Structure 1
């Protein structure tokens, strides 16, 4: 593979049809650091960090309220007497069934939060893809993708889904050309990481 192909494919995101191969592959890569800006086209249309946090707090409050309503709506159950001789001991599943039932209010809160989180996640992915396609700094964009993958958070947890893309936009992109220590601190303090690690 020649140096131009290495610069475009291994260090960048590939050559676009209208682009000419760089005459100076090394200069092409190094020059991108001076041109890089962390903002992305369309990023200003995303929900803010604060708006996502507010929605999560409302979701948590709705879940707690639904659980309390369900708990206090149930008639008090008398304590189960110990089993008599020769009587079967209740299973762990039977004993654990004292959890409050999943109410319509809890279901509705989860559905609403899932819709919000999914919409945010899809919008964030769209901005990221459009940025990768349109960027004039593909080497730096590849570094952003590397660090976003390195510090990946799962979107399996409902509450972290809406924050997942924001972690890249707020903690990785602003620090990708700076000191690693600054990026590490920003990532470890970001709500997406705190929720992923059950620290929020």
Structure 2
């Protein structure tokens, strides 16, 4: 099938907008990836390294509170700690609404925003504990967003060696069994190594076994983080001796460069190309993707050395990517974001919603739809299959949001007939157009369009 501008915005972007024209070509979709990140400039999110409160500030506040217990300073120390917690929660909410607003205002269909969300899900982390709750989006902003058009190995190294990922997968607990640090107790933790192989690179069906997991876990020992200094390499925690992973031997010298070499090997492995080709096709095109599309993406990955710009371009150039049948169901975040885009809700309205506020307008409804912001069930991220998002409770929550929230966000709702075409595009089904015309109110008509399968799928 040939390129279609409306399908480009719906399937590979953040949806149609009456104010923003869909991309005119594949090159127009790709152009922003090679230039300045304009939406990030307009709607900034502070990266991890500059985010406040920092882990060091959290630690200092918690320490002061512990030391002050039972003294006259306990109340002010507790109040200072609570103020820090409130600041972190407010920042997490602000980062959430900014992420929504970026997709609403994104140019050329919003391909960059979709790529950021895809890779953030591929490298899933979850904020467990108060001191981490506001740091997931800054982690994505620092490690993933700048690299969606770079080489995969660059993103892999940035993500896997980041304090947020190391904390999430318990790398701090991992000690080489024969390292000097292990003499005082502790041992090997395989979480990071297992997810690195199973999820991040060669895939669950890849050519690895338990021995590869263990050897990679031993190779990763020494990799840790400090609340003040961030990521650091700790030789005393590293397992001495050489390791062999997937048939590749790595130096017996315990150093950070050895870890980089291992990550580059995994990024360039043929099984990684195969695993990632299918995952990309499943996410963007179909739960059961065209075999030739997958094979073409795999070849592009191998030939380019994992150049993500080249792989994305290859996906957009393949005829199967433009199949007229919409085979994917939008996850809740994408559904809400594309709804806001179709309604032309101003970004500042999303960021400054007043009452009832973004939690009631967006965050809680997303949780009811099955996608609690930054809280996936496990390191494998959110499900791809349509069935995961269309259970009766999840669909009821979508319909309720579609029927009620637009009227709370806009002072005047758009004409339903014009809105139906603007939201769904020229392939608007007659049944949806009729339902929009026949609705008793504008709010009901808008809700019918947003709740329709024609809008829910892409």
Unaligned ranges ≥5, structure 2: 173-224, 226-458
Query: Aligned match of 1:124 in 72, 76, 95?
Result: 95
User: CA deviation digits over 1:117-163, x for unaligned, max 9?
Assistant: 11211222232222211111411221111111222322332111222
Distance 1:58 1:22 in 2: 44
* TM-score after normalising by structure 1: 0.66
**1:100-179 maps to which residues of 2 (within 5 A)?**
107-137=78-108, 138-179=110-151
Q: Is the CA contact 1:159–1:195 (under 8 Å) kept in the aligned structure 2?
A: no
Distance 2:155 2:44 in 1: 20
* TM-score after normalising by structure 2: 0.32
Q: Is the CA contact 2:48–2:141 (under 8 Å) kept in the aligned structure 1?
A: no
Q: Is the CA contact 1:117–1:162 (under 8 Å) kept in the aligned structure 2?
A: yes
Distance 1:160 1:195, change over 3 A: farther
Distance 1:111 1:23, change over 3 A: closer
Secondary structure at the counterpart of residue 143 of structure 2:
helix
Aligned to 2:29: 29
Q: Is the CA contact 1:56–1:113 (under 8 Å) kept in the aligned structure 2?
A: no
Q: Which has the larger radius of gyration?
A: 1
Secondary structure at the counterpart of residue 43 of structure 1:
coil
Report the number of matched residues.
Answer: 167
Runs of 4+ in structure 1 deviating by more than 6 angstroms, as ranges, are none
Q: Is the CA contact 1:36–1:140 (under 8 Å) kept in the aligned structure 2?
A: no
Distance 1:180 1:47, change over 3 A: closer
Distance 1:36 1:177, change over 3 A: farther
Secondary structure at the counterpart of residue 141 of structure 1:
helix
State the 1:185 CA deviation: 1.6
Distance 1:197 1:159, change over 3 A: farther
Aligned to 2:239: none
